[in-house]
Amino acid sequence: MTTQPLIAEVVSIGDELLHAGLIDTNSAYLAGQLEQLGIVVQRFTVVGDDPEQLQEAIASACRRADLVVATGGLGPTLDDRTREVVAAALGEPLRFDALSWQEILEWFARFKRPVPDSNRRQAELPQSATALSNSSGTAPGFRVRLHDAELFVLPGVPREMKVMLNEHVLPFVQQLGGLIPTAQACLRVLGPSEALLGERLQQFMQPGRNPLVGITASGGMLSVRLIGTANTKAEAAALCEQTAKELRPLLREWLFAEGLQTVPELVLAALAADKRTIAFAESCTGGLCAARLTDLPGSSAVLQGGIVAYSNAAKHELLGVADDLLEQHGAVSEPVAQAMAEGACQRFLADCAVATTGIAGPSGGSKSKPVGTVCFALATRNPSGSIDAKAWTVRIPDLGRTFVRDRAVFEVWRALLQ
């Protein structure tokens, strides 16, 4: 194959990204979507609303790449200047786009809200640009050619950006040449350190290998990602599966999930497929398990409910954990976890229930139960109606409260996917 790949860059715009600690997640999302089409993303730039800096950043990206996707700075307020800056880079005036204005008016009518006059600015775009309608917000985007690059400008709100990427950018890009068929696979791993896993997979991680194998860490879970390229998507997928087959024995018992969906999505799908309902009894995870599952549409068919039982009184009163269990073993113990899971399973009339109780830190640790000690239990209702439960303990490295809680939630998902 001699096709030159299409080169893309991403520009994220907004003072809040540079000066207010807001993390740019748009770029990584856009890159992932573009690379699935076989486009090579070579750079992200994050720049503020300062017109001079912004113009230089957009123009130089358009000189280096074939495709540039910029997000942000399309709001109605005067500190949003992306429209003016792109027009200046083109040496063009702004024009008022009547159709965009109509869509903005309709958006406000839908929510029965008055239209602030400042929103008229959002219907302006560079003379030679094509407006891109925004079905989920007031800011239309636009597409324009600048320095031989196709430049797409989308709103910075992630929800609006994602919809507009799907409705406008991806369909346009799919018609272009230079797309190399790709496929992806993802294996989810809990247990080893990133270094240990990297050492074990070393021979797969050489640069230039096809499929490319990479490891990313998030909340204590490691994801082994495969990106394969070939003449067709099916061939690329076959290459990925071939490598996945070699990887599985090396990942051993650490491997707990496969697929491109998020782990909570896989859990919800598995429970829904088995028509199993679930309940949670959460102490150290404090509602995170329930919150992550209920973020998914369709979770109400599966989740009966949950109890966040932080205090011993709550564990006793609401989950029926016997006081002598709490006294004898302490709140962070396998017998208490087991009683919590059983209590949630009974009280919510669920098919299964998971309990977490642990020490998330920064304080509360002891020599025998250091920060990061978390006890889990999974209770399962038998066909006879009786409930079986098993409990286990994980010593999570104390890399901060958020890490311990996130890692504990992944342990819950692991248990539910077994």
Q: Which of residues 311-340 bind a second copy (CB under 8 A)?
A: 311, 313-314, 317-318
DSSP E strand boundaries for 34-93: 40-47, 67-71
Instruction: Rule CB under 8 A: choose which of 55, 71, 134, 138 binds a second copy.
Output: 138
Question: Looking at 218-226, 235-243, 248-256, 334-342, which segment touches a second copy (CB under 8 A)?
Answer: 218-226
Cα distance between residue 250 and residue 199, in whole Å: 11
| Strand 182-189 relative to strand 212-218, pairing | unpaired
Q: Report if residue 5 touches a second copy, rule: CB under 8 A.
A: no
102 SS3 class: helix
Q: Report if residue 155 touches a second copy, rule: CB under 8 A.
A: no
Q: Report if residue 187 touches a second copy, rule: CB under 8 A.
A: no
Q: Report if residue 166 touches a second copy, rule: CB under 8 A.
A: no
Structure tokens at 345: 């399973």
Contact criterion met (CB below 8 Å) for 284 and 404 = yes
Instruction: Rule CB under 8 A: choose which of 68, 151, 303, 332 binds a second copy.
Output: 303
Question: Looking at 145-153, 190-198, 240-248, 266-274, which segment touches a second copy (CB under 8 A)?
Answer: 190-198
Q: Which amino acid appears at position 89 of this protein?
A: A
Number of residues that bind a second copy (CB under 8 A): 109
Q: Report if residue 136 touches a second copy, rule: CB under 8 A.
A: yes
Which residues from 43-72 bind a second copy, rule CB under 8 A? Answer: 43-51, 53, 57, 60
Which residue, among 398, 36, 396, has the nearest Cα to 221 in the 3D structure? 396
Q: Which is nearer to a second copy, 201 or 390 (CB)?
A: 201
Sign for the CA dihedral angle at 212, 217, 220, 221 comes to: negative
Instruction: Rule CB under 8 A: choose which of 25, 135, 232, 366 binds a second copy.
Output: 25
Which residue, among 62, 43, 66, 65, has the nearest Cα to 54 in the 3D structure? 62
Given phi > 0 = left and psi -120 to 50 = alpha, else beta, which region is 105? Answer: alpha
Q: Which is nearer to a second copy, 293 or 355 (CB)?
A: 293
Which residue, among 307, 262, 270, has the nearest Cα to 289 in the 3D structure? 307
Helices (H), 65-97: 82-90
CB of 128 to a second copy, least distance (A): 26
Cα distance between residue 318 and residue 310, in whole Å: 11
Q: Report if residue 270 touches a second copy, rule: CB under 8 A.
A: no
Question: Looking at 221-229, 240-248, 263-271, 333-341, which segment touches a second copy (CB under 8 A)?
Answer: 221-229
CB of 288 to a second copy, least distance (A): 4
Question: Looking at 82-90, 237-245, 249-257, 347-355, which segment touches a second copy (CB under 8 A)?
Answer: 347-355
Instruction: Rule CB under 8 A: choose which of 31, 74, 237, 332 binds a second copy.
Output: 31
Instruction: Rule CB under 8 A: choose which of 1, 2, 23, 174 binds a second copy.
Output: 23
Cα distance between residue 182 and residue 232, in whole Å: 8
Cα distance between residue 134 and residue 138, in whole Å: 7
Instruction: Rule CB under 8 A: choose which of 94, 238, 270, 308 binds a second copy.
Output: 308
